[in-house]
Amino acid sequence: MKFTQQEMKQLAEASQAAGREDLYAGIHKALRAVMAECLLAVGRADPTDPQDVTDAGARVCALMDLCVSHVHHENNFVHPAIEARTPGLSADVAHEHLGHLEQIARLRAAARQLDTLQGAALTSALHTLYLDLSLFVAENLRHMHVEETEHNAALWCAYTDDELRAIHGALVATIPPGEMMLVMRWMLPQMNAPERLAVLGGMRQEAPEPVFRAVLDVVQPHLSPRDWAKLSGGLGLPAVPGLVDAV
Ligand SMILES: [Fe+2]
């Protein structure tokens, strides 16, 4: 079943108003942020500063790791759910994922090569990586829009919120702690205040207290004082930065 643009717009608006479970929204906010910051960092990297070059290469490789993991999460959990009740709908996006994995391999190789180059060759390679990464980011921005409209429309029509939460829970259970912390660092600061409070309020109920506090410690430096005040107030924590340990 395919949706028209108008049907997807209406369904998205109705689902937003109804507070439907959204499998894509949070992680895609994280990916948009980490991709954009990485691209800008590569653009700023000084080819005459070996530390800058090493850092830029490592940052690209870390982004590629996150992107590979994300593709696998969608392939292994979201697409099977879509195909189970809306056969054929995820085929185009699944095909795009294959292209993304090829792009990721090329970008990773280019990033790893930086430390082996010098002079004009390094300057040129760094700029080429910046341009190639910009196209990768652009393609992913377009791709994520398709997922958040077409795929979400299919999921909202075919599944209840409880079923969608079960799919999300099964996916999240496979994420190692280190990767989860990285996702939290990029996702939570980019959510709006009510979304952020909902995620952390849920985590406070389910996660061990040291884990909850570790997430707060990672996220707090990336929040504005205003956003931290909203979060700490919502969670009933001291609003003064640096008092997270007093939880
Ligand atoms: Fe995707």
Distance 68 CA to ligand 1 centre (A): 10
Among 35, 233, 228, smallest CA distance to 242 is for 228
Alpha-carbon distance 134 to 231, whole Å? 33
Which of 239, 62, 42, 193 is CA-nearest to residue 122?
Answer: 42
Span from the CA of 74 to the centroid of ligand 1 (angstroms): 6
User: Comparing C-alpha atoms, which of 145, 151, 16 is closest to residue 74?
Assistant: 151
* CATH 1.20.120 domain extents, the chain: 5-176
Do residues 49 and 222 lie in contact, with contact meaning Cβ atoms separated by under 8 Å?
no
Residue 104 near residue 68, CB atoms below 8 Å:
yes
Separation of 151 CA from ligand 1 center, angstroms? 10
**Does the pLDDT value for residue 17 go beyond 80?**
no
Distance from the alpha carbon of residue 107 to the mean position of ligand 1, in angstroms = 18
Per residue in 30-64, pLDDT tens?
999 999 999 999 999 999 999 999 999 999 999 99
Could you tell me the distance, in angstroms and rounded to a whole number, from the CA of residue 89 to the centre of ligand 1?
13
Q: State the DSSP code for 174.
A: T
Q: How far away, in angstroms, is 140 Cα from ligand 1 center? A: 8
- C-alpha 186 – ligand 1 centre gap (Å): 17
The answer to whether 78 touches 84, Cβ cutoff 8 Å, is no
Q: What residues have CB less than 8 Å from 174, skipping those under 6 apart?
A: 73, 76
Q: Residues 55-83: pLDDT tens digits?
A: 999 999 999 999 999 999 999 999 999 99
* Confidence (pLDDT) at 246: 40
Copy the structure tokens of residue 132.
Answer: 């190639």
Q: How far is the CA of 17 from the centre of ligand 1 (A)?
A: 24
Looking at residue 84, its pLDDT comes to 97
Give the CA angle between residues 190, 232, 172 to the nearest 5°.
50
Q: Ligand 1 centroid to 80 CA: how many Å?
A: 13
How remote is the CA of residue 147 from the centroid of ligand 1, in Å? 7
**What is the fold of 5-176?**
Four Helix Bundle (Hemerythrin (Met), subunit A) (1.20.120)
| 123 CA distance to ligand 1 middle (Å) | 32
Distance 232 CA to ligand 1 centre (A): 33
| Mean pLDDT for all residues in the chain | 93
Centroid of ligand 1 to alpha carbon of 24 (angstroms): 9
Mean pLDDT, range 16-27, rounded to an integer: 91
Q: How many CB atoms lie within 10 A of CB 105?
A: 12
Residue 23 · residue 155 · CB < 8 Å: yes
Q: Which two tokens stand for residue 22?
A: 């959204």
The alpha carbon of 204 and the centre of ligand 1 are apart by a number of angstroms equal to 29
Residue 136: name the closest of 29, 39, 14, 13 by CA. 39
Please name the residue that has the structure tokens 């290469």.
57
Instruction: Compute the distance from residue 201 Cα to the ligand 1 centre, in Å.
Output: 27
Residue list, CB under 5 A from ion ligand 1: 74
Output the CA 49–ligand 1 centroid distance in Å.
35
Question: How many Å apart are CA 217 and CA 70, to the nearest integer?
Answer: 24
What mean pLDDT is predicted for residues 133-150? 96
Alpha carbon distance 91, 17 (integer Å):
29
